[in-house]
A and B are shown apart, each in its own frame.
Chain A
Amino acid sequence: MNPIFDLTWLVPLPPAVACALIILVTNRNKSLSSVIAIAGVAVSLVIGWAVAFSAFVDHDLAHHPVNATLFSIPTGLTDIDVGYALDPANALMLFMVPFLLVMIFVYARGYMTFPHHLKAADFPEAHAEGKDPRYSRFMAYISLFAVGMLGLVTSNNLITFFVFWEIMGLCSYLLIGFWFEKESAKKAAFKAFVTTRIGDALLFIGMMVLYIVSEPSSLSFADLFSEDNLYELGRTYANLGFREVTWVSIITFLILCGTIGKSAQFPLHVWLPDAMEGPTPVSAMIHAATMVSAGVFLLIRMYPLFDRALHLTSTSTYLVAGVGAFTALFAATIAMAQWDVKRVLAYSTISQLGYMVAALGIGAYVAALFHLLTHAFFKALLFLGSGSVIHGMEHGHEHAHAHGHDSGADEHASGLIQRPDGSLDPNDPQDMRNMGGLLRKMPVTGWTFIIGGLALSGFPIITAGFWSKDEILAVAFEENSLVFLALAIAAFCTAFYTMRQMALTFFNRGRTEAADHASESTRSMTLPLILISFFAITLGWIGIPAAFPVLGPIGNNWLGHFLEPFMEVIHIHVLHPEFNVVPLLVSVAVALGGLGLGWLVYGKGLPPGETDPMYRAMGPIWQIFHRKYFVDELYDATVVRLSNFVSSFCASIDARWIIDPLVNLVGKAGVWLSALAAAADHLLVDGLVNLTANFMRWCGGVLTHLQDGKVQAYLVIAMMVLGIWVVLVGMPIVLTLV
């Protein structure tokens, strides 16, 4: 075994050290804090890539994956072995995650300027510095997040996996609500936390069930995925009352629930779009590239179970495929009708995660992992690009302010403009209707965004997104035509909304003063964009199907060859889809068709005041998309209202009816009893004590006359005592002797 693999456990450590350093030592120095945070993840990147690339060239790793124990936690009957694992699947993650973390940290260093919703007067120092007042705290949070993600990837058992999973959940909450002065951010953080909690709770139940029914009881991946254990789980039945199901399908269902929460799949997808309230680096890192893909990675990690369920044709895997395919299509249609530049990407993320889940539901393990990797790169790229756009727009807005290009009245009219296709805030730097023509103002951002957009839409041959999406479609075509249909339509929608977004943002003319005066962002923001866009194109080459004309033999499907021996080791059936030209053509057609249609509709731009052309064409259907199928409203009307009702009912029981009155009663009774006890104290106890004391004083007074200080008086007493003794004791003894 390669000795470098022993370093795997070190990967999550440097950001942890950085986080502690920032919180404890350097939090007053913003610039230094960010340098420490970047240094932390950079060290992780060096170690992670050393490990990952050694793994890529080590042919033995797949057959003998690393599974090392650092220490054991004794838990009653069994020990939990905490340690690290390294196998082809997480080696690929170790390639992707640290790189994106470094890029995003560097980007965040430039991005976290003084936010616009705060008043400069409240934070004069931070404003003078031009940085967010909680800049250091932000760096600490994202470092902690990096610990969570890297730890999760390197875990060798479900317990630590879950711990790191929850660390990320916490960081997600803290970072979405980072600008907690904004009411919307506060609410979004709360919503994200509560929504994901549902999935996490079910996942935890799943872990417990898995621990109980596994033989031996263990949560270490190596034990769980032994041939015997998988066989037993698939063979033994649990009685649910109405029917009997195999344990493996119960467990896979519960694990799927965890993924649905974390990866924002329908019906728990509602938190992810709102999570865009957080700073954009957070959106890029947590809500596009890493944390949400942790949900998919959970499925990948637990895939031996899913594969077993799949081959038992258990309902739970149909559910995986169904949830994934439905979410992919559902979110893609919503994304077609959003105006907020980040919200489009948020729904796009949900949709793409749906692709991966659907792929796993039909057995396309390699394709899902492939898409997970490529998607992480191009979605991080798109989010960082959109953050750069927002920054540019804000600068443009300030510039327009400063030079008085607008008439004052118009400038400060911050009121919403009511439009049939959604209300518009003319000062909103995130609304695409306020943008336009930004490619000329922000060329680096613009071109990298276009690269990311083409990768997302699966532009044929040259982009990474094409290869991974095509592989999923190819498997879907063979395995399940319904899933194939849903994914193909979703791919079309994806290409369409991506072109809509690019056209509205970067092409034609600016629709506001702010867009006309937008400027390119700083180097620390554009450099990561360029570096990531490199991978958004080239990463697809690792997984070109071997049978693909011309290109296939060159690439020779490195990814498949890398993963397949490992899949056999952990008992996953390897799919070898026949090369079929139909899904390939479909994939090319939907990508180009979507982009083409998007260009036809939006290529001419959107004149100010004019409604969305698709709205004019589709009317109420577009409204349904725009309002996100009213899912939020539905939840507000049902779950939220119900829980509010239950809460206020409980509050009434608590405060008005039962608990508070009871507590008050107990309190009053206590006071009354105390008064009684006090009276008893005064009369009885004090009286007794005083009586004793007085008696003793009286005795003392009497006896004090005996001690007159005269030695001879004492002697007389002593003699008298002696005399009494002689009479009472000595004489009888003498008499008995006589």
Chain B
Amino acid sequence: MVPLQAYLTLAAFIFSCGLYGALARRNAIAMLMAVELMLNAVNINLVAFWRYGPNRDDLAGQTFAIFVIAVAAAEVAVGLALIIAIYRSRKTVYLDEIDLLQG
């Protein structure tokens, strides 16, 4: 049986990829995808902890993962809509060019 640490390592790797993408990608859509990566890394953790947890009758880990997927879908919908709106007005999706709130 695959040990728990393997899952956690995978999840940490995916999370780090996501974090890197969110911090470093110029393209807003890519950044959104990176955020999705981080969320799914978390989902892996949730499900893994449920599977290796003491009480498998309690479905909280899975339920939470489904919640996160649903919220992520909504988030992507809003995020994409925002990006399209920004693109329409500023003709760019590069985050370093979108700095209207510069102090």
Contacts and interface: CB of A to CB of B under 8 A. Distances in A.
Contact of A716 (B23, B96, B102): B23
Contact of B100 (A704, A709, A715, A719): A709
B24 interface: yes
B95 A711 contact: yes
A275 B24 CA distance: 108
A119 interface: no
Contacts, number: 35
Contact of A710 (B22, B24, B96): B96
B50 to A, nearest CB: 22
B103 interface: yes
Contacts of B22: 712, 715
Contacts of A706: 103
Interface string A267-305: 000000000000000000000000000000000000000
A709 B98 contact: yes
Contacts of A716: 23
B62 to A, nearest CB: 27
A403 interface: no
A705 interface: yes
B23 A709 contact: no
Nearest to B25: A712
Nearest to A705: B103
A38 to B, nearest CB: 87
B31 interface: yes
Interface in B16-52: 19, 22-24, 31
A708 interface: yes
Given A715-B23, A716-B23, A709 B31 contact: no
Given A710-B95, A712-B95, A719 B23 contact: yes
A707 B31 CA distance: 20
Contact of B102 (A703, A707, A715): A707
B101 interface: yes
A52 B28 CA distance: 108
Contacts of A711: 31, 95, 98
Interface residues of B, number: 13
B57 interface: no
Interface in A684-720: 703-712, 715-716, 719
B58 interface: no
A300 to B, nearest CB: 95
Interface in A575-630: none
A310 B98 CA distance: 113
A715 B19 CA distance: 10
Output the residue of B96, B98, B103 with the most chain A CB within 10 A: B103
Output the residue of A704, A712, A719 with the most chain B CB within 10 A: A712
Nearest to A715: B23
B98 A712 contact: no
Contacts of B99: 708-710
A707 B102 CA distance: 6
A704 B103 contact: yes
A716 B19 CA distance: 10
A423 to B, nearest CB: 100
B79 to A, nearest CB: 11
A716 B95 CA distance: 14
Nearest to B101: A709
A707 to B, nearest CB: 4
Nearest to A708: B102
Contacts of B23: 712, 715-716, 719
Contacts of A715: 22-23
Interface string B2-20: 0000000000000000010
Interface in A301-321: none
Interface of A: 703-712, 715-716, 719
16 contacts: A704-B103, A706-B103, A707-B102, A708-B102, A709-B98, A709-B99, A709-B103, A710-B96, A710-B98, A710-B99, A711-B95, A711-B98, A712-B31, A712-B95, A715-B22, A719-B23
